[in-house]
Homo-oligomer: A and B are copies of this chain.
Amino acid sequence: MTTKKTKKEIIQEAAAHLFRDKGYSATSMRDLAEAVNLKASSLYNHISSKEEILRNICFDNAHRFISGMEEVEKSGADAPAQVRALLSLHIRTAMEDATSVTAFNDEWRHLNEPYLSEFKALRKDYEQRFRNILNTGMKSGAFRQMDPNVMLYTLFSSVRWLYDWFQEGKSRSAEAVEAEVIELLMGGLHSS
């Protein structure tokens, strides 16, 4: 059904997997070649450099999250619903494309300039738009009053474990985990 994957896409996916497991720096082009049944030199028929692979991973995911943010902003929902939608986006993405997102989260610092600055700008933009939603929710009284940065980064990182966790195709259904995480974050550890 899905259109056949190009060799470049196969290489990108294998690279994302290796970058997640061993890190960008500790992954050699010979490692990557072996993972796709090629020799290292052959890789360069499909990609132009090791960093290009990382670049694609980072910016593809950045755009994915920014697209999600745009949809949420257009929805016109209230702040709690918008936060729920964004948490859902983070959690679903973590489960559906864990390898790619992990590389995106942890390895972007190995980008070279000018891409490093470009990436940081995208990230900053996303964070600012998320912070706006949190501020709106605090102003309306829907959210507790607190430092919006503390709230923002706590939410961000609270779903980070999913990227590591779902590499082994865990038993729990994605929907159940998503629901539990969102309720935990919205309602807190305490019961009732």
Pick 20 A–B contacts, CB within 8 A, sort by A.
Answer: A22-B109, A23-B24, A23-B25, A24-B26, A25-B26, A80-B190, A83-B189, A144-B189, A144-B190, A144-B191, A145-B191, A150-B184, A151-B189, A153-B162, A153-B165, A154-B158, A154-B184, A160-B160, A186-B188, A187-B188
Residues of B with C-beta under 8 A to A165: 153
Using known A-B contacts A154-B161, A188-B185, A190-B142, determine if residue A177 contacts B147 with beta carbons closer than 8 Å. yes
CA distance A185 to B184 in the complex (A): 8
Q: Contact at B145–A185, with CB atoms within 8 Å?
A: no
Q: How large is the interface on A (under 10, 10 to 19, 20 to 34, 35 or more residues)?
A: 35 or more
The 3 A-B residue pairs whose C-beta atoms are closest, nearest first, are A188-B188, A158-B158, A25-B25
A105 CB → nearest B CB, Å: 10
Q: Which residue of B lies closest to A87 (CB)?
A: B189
Q: Contact at A187–B190, with CB atoms within 8 Å?
A: yes
- Stoichiometry, as copies per complex, reads 2
Q: Mark A121-162, 1 if CB is under 8 A from B, else 0.
A: 000000000000000010001111111001101111111111
Of A144, A154, A155, A181, the most chain B CB neighbours within 10 A belong to A154
A127 CB → nearest B CB, Å: 11
Q: Which residue of B lies closest to A140 (CB)?
A: B191
Residues of B with C-beta under 8 A to A143: 189-191
Residues of B with C-beta under 8 A to A142: 190-191
Q: Which residue of B lies closest to A141 (CB)?
A: B191
Q: Which residue of B lies closest to A158 (CB)?
A: B158
A46 at the interface (CB under 8 A from B): no
